[in-house]
């Protein structure tokens, strides 16, 4: 398999402690997706918005 075919997976990190974030809730809305994430170490909550790029 060529290097260009490998998909790189990035783990979201907590801005407070650097721990891994886990997705708790996903809300698709048109071309955007809002996700509610929680840190598995400190419990800090973060909201992210993902937009579809064409």
Residue 7 maps to a domain:
no
Residue 8 maps to a domain:
no
pLDDT of residue 8: 65
What's the domain range around 47?
14-51
Contact of 24 with 38, CB cutoff 8 Å: yes
Residue 32 maps to a domain:
yes
Tokens of 6: 């490998």
Residue 33 maps to a domain:
yes
**10 Å Cβ neighbour count for 47?**
10
pLDDT of residue 1: 44
pLDDT in tens, 1-54: 455 555 666 788 999 999 999 999 999 988 899 999 999 999 999 999 998 877
Task: Report how far residue 25's alpha carbon sits from residue 34's, in angstroms, rounded to the nearest whole number.
Answer: 8
How many structural domains does the chain have?
1
């Amino acid at each position: 398999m060529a290097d260009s075919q490998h998909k790189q997976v990035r783990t979201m990190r907590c801005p407070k402690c650097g721990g891994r974030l886990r997705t708790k809730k996903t809300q698709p809305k048109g071309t955007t997706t809002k996700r509610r994430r929680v840190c598995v170490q400190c419990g800090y909550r973060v909201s992210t918005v993902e937009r579809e790029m064409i």
